[in-house]
Structure 1
Amino acid sequence: MYIPKYYKVTDVNEIEEFIQMNSFATLVTTKQGKPIATHLPLMFNKKGDNYYLTGHMAYGNPQWRTFESSDDVLVMFQGPNEYISSSWYSHENVPTWNYQAVHIYGKANIIEKEELIDDLTMLLEKYEKDREKPILWDNLSPELLEKEMKGIVGFKIKIGEVQAAYKLSQNRNEDDYKNIIDQLKNEEAPNSKQMALLMEKRCKKQI
């Protein structure tokens, strides 16, 4: 991923937080030279000194069969993105687009049943724990779980390289930066308001 110096992010904790908050990813491999992709939620884990992404996909999805022949897979995480009008600047310029993106490269391997159960348990815990009637692993019948597990394949990706870009108008002067935030707040699109909050958060971190 091309990342100008203004937008490059290297802090591991910041990247981990981003992945946890934007965990619905795009997994890319190649099959006979042709890129193929699956969109799915992934978990971020650390074991010892190594970092992993874990997840599962349908058994009928042919992509998992490409793991063995792929040296590396590519996983893309994306946060809010929004159009930035150059009419919001104090000088003439062209429009642009603000966004957050993290690309991860690593080796993918199929995991065994017990490891898959652990991952599914954590996945349910993450997304269900705050609900009024949480659906957790131990709440589901063994018969249903056994049936459903036959239809999925679990995998983990050992993280080798991380590329992170947060393009949040860091290259603009203070007045333009604040005006961009104000203008985004006035837009009706949900992404605009999310981008405004991100830019405000970044500004507060620098104070």
Structure 2
Amino acid sequence: MFIQPWDASLDEAEWQAWIADGHDFGQLCVNGPPGRPPVVVPTHFICDGNDLLVHLARPNPVWKAIEHDPNVTFTVIGDYAFVPGPWRATPGTPPEEGVPTSYYAAVQFTCRAHVIDDPHGKADLLTRQLAHFQPDGDHAEVTVDRPPYGRLLSGIRGLRLEVTGVRGKFKYDDHKSVQHRTAVADHLTARGRGLDVPAAAQQRRRTDRIGTWKP
């Protein structure tokens, strides 16, 4: 992931807060065996300290890829929007000469994958995930010897992704003027399509924090 200086996460707290704010779905990317393309798996995840926890179906082809190379990347993307050229035209130039771009936030974790196959370990992983995704507790207890989960545990494998590096990117034209960024955020809010409003919120948050970009 290429990151311009003005697109970089301002500190660890920024990307951590973004992940914690409901961004808990991403893509696990694993090098394929020789002669095969990478394996990419979309999945929910949770953070457990500095690690990420994931579970996947046992027939998933990702397991062979991990056996070949346990060094993986996990990518989370959100708050994205297409920004049309006229919104970015330089003042005094025809609107059609503006160059369009994409806005988005992304966090990439480089990790070493550790497979969890022990039934009790998988039950603990699922318990942690349910505590995150169903905090009201409206689910059966996950145990290895009682339904419904006991008989299902053999059909999954768990992954503890030991995070070895993190890169955050918040691409919202922070190198441009405050006036420009404010105007684009207003355009996004007015259009209100897809993730326009969350993208505008990210742009306004970064504008408030950075102000005028200084290299």
Q: TM-score, normalised by structure 1?
A: 0.87
Secondary structure in 2 matching 1:171: coil
How far did 1:154 drift? 0.5
The one-letter code of the counterpart of 2:43 is: L
Who is 1:9 aligned against?
Answer: 9
- Between the two proteins, the alignment pairs up a number of residues equal to 200
User: What value does the CA root-mean-square deviation take over the aligned residues?
Assistant: 2.2
Return closer, same or farther for 1:36/1:120 CA change in 2, 3 Å cut-off.
same
Return closer, same or farther for 1:10/1:56 CA change in 2, 3 Å cut-off.
farther
Give per-residue Cα distances to partners, 1:96-154, cap 9 Å, x unaligned. Answer: 11001111111101123333222211211112125xx7225369x92211111111000
Give distance in 2, aligned partners of 1:81 and 1:43: 22
What 5-or-longer segments of structure 1 have no aligned partner?
A: none
The one-letter code of the counterpart of 1:108 is: A
Of 43, 49, 57 in structure 1, the residue corresponding to residue 46 of structure 2 is 43
Return closer, same or farther for 1:89/1:71 CA change in 2, 3 Å cut-off.
same
Who is 2:59 aligned against?
Answer: 60
Do residues 18 (structure 1) and 18 (structure 2) align?
yes
Matches within 5 A, 1:82-121: 82-89=81-88, 91=90, 92=93, 93-111=98-116, 112-121=118-127
Matches within 5 A, 1:1-207: 1-9=1-9, 11-20=11-20, 21-33=22-34, 34-46=37-49, 51-89=50-88, 91=90, 92=93, 93-111=98-116, 112-130=118-136, 134-135=138-139, 137=141, 142-206=146-210
Instruction: Indicate the structure with greater strand content.
Output: 1
Give distance in 1, aligned partners of 2:77 and 2:113: 20
The one-letter code of the counterpart of 2:54 is: G
Q: TM-score, normalised by structure 2?
A: 0.84
CA contact (8 A) 2:88 2:99 kept: no
What 5-or-longer segments of structure 2 have no aligned partner?
A: none
Give per-residue Cα distances to partners, 1:30-67, cap 9 Å, x unaligned. Answer: 22232111111111122xxxx21111100111212322
